[in-house]
Structure 1
């Protein structure tokens, strides 16, 4: 079980394919959505936020997430469009993209570069 919140979104499968629903599933109102693609083999992110919450879904392919909330570090894999990772403002995160991956990001606030925190958490001295 992950320390970080992963929602398993309702998904309906039949012979015609699958449909995943994101209705009333997030603990915040989405005011900004964007997707990242063409980042084959790249790592992006490397920050946390002052107040923005995010929900991330790999709608295609695989994205490996490194998460650190200052207490717990964990690496998670988003590899199915029914898995949604909640990223809280305190969560330092990086995203590593497999070939052809597409990551949908839904944010609680509009873009504001001023609320990004680019300094990672310090590791304890005994590490």
Structure 2
């Protein structure tokens, strides 16, 4: 089984100035992404009372970016480590490795951009928390 780092924040370049605006990029040798992007999707207009995510991936690595608004992400690893991240700068992303249970809560104006290492596959998801915990026991 491949080993992955724990979730961590990625700082993207912030190019520009207040009077003209900013652009952040990730390309070629300067790319801070730990994988080649195979899928991009975004979520928006999520009510603040809703918790999304509630799953882990078997193979997919992701970088979550708050393109607008604020997103609070909670991750849980196989060893029980829980981390909480607050994303609110569009030049910052959160790396989420495979086998990390994660949930997200959004400000109403939040737009979440997700860069994923794999195309969508329903078989890549663990959506039941108890099944996820049971999977951990098997690997311990």
TM-score (norm 2): 0.81
Aligned to 1:103: 112
- The two structures, once aligned, show a CA RMSD in angstroms of 1.3
Instruction: Kindly state the Cα deviation for residue 40 of structure 1 after the two structures are TM-superposed.
Output: 2.4
Instruction: List structure 1 segments (4+ residues) > 6 angstroms apart after TM superposition.
Output: none
> Which of the pair is proportionally richer in strand?
1
1:64 aligned to 2:72?
A: yes
Aligned to 1:125: none
Unmatched 5+ stretches in structure 2? 1-5, 134-140
Residue 36 of structure 2 is aligned with which of 9, 29, 33? 29
Alignment check: 8 A CA contact 1:40 1:101 kept:
no
Residue 54 of structure 1 is aligned with which of 38, 54, 62? 62
Equivalent-residue separation in structure 1 for 2:44 and 2:26 (angstroms): 21
Unmatched 5+ stretches in structure 1? 123-127
Query: C-alpha deviations, 1:1-54, integer Å up to 9, x for none?
Result: xx6211011102312011111222211111110000011212110000110111
Equivalent-residue separation in structure 1 for 2:47 and 2:91 (angstroms): 21
> Which of the pair is proportionally richer in helix?
2
Alignment check: 8 A CA contact 2:7 2:97 kept:
no
Aligned to 1:13: 16
TM-score (norm 1): 0.88
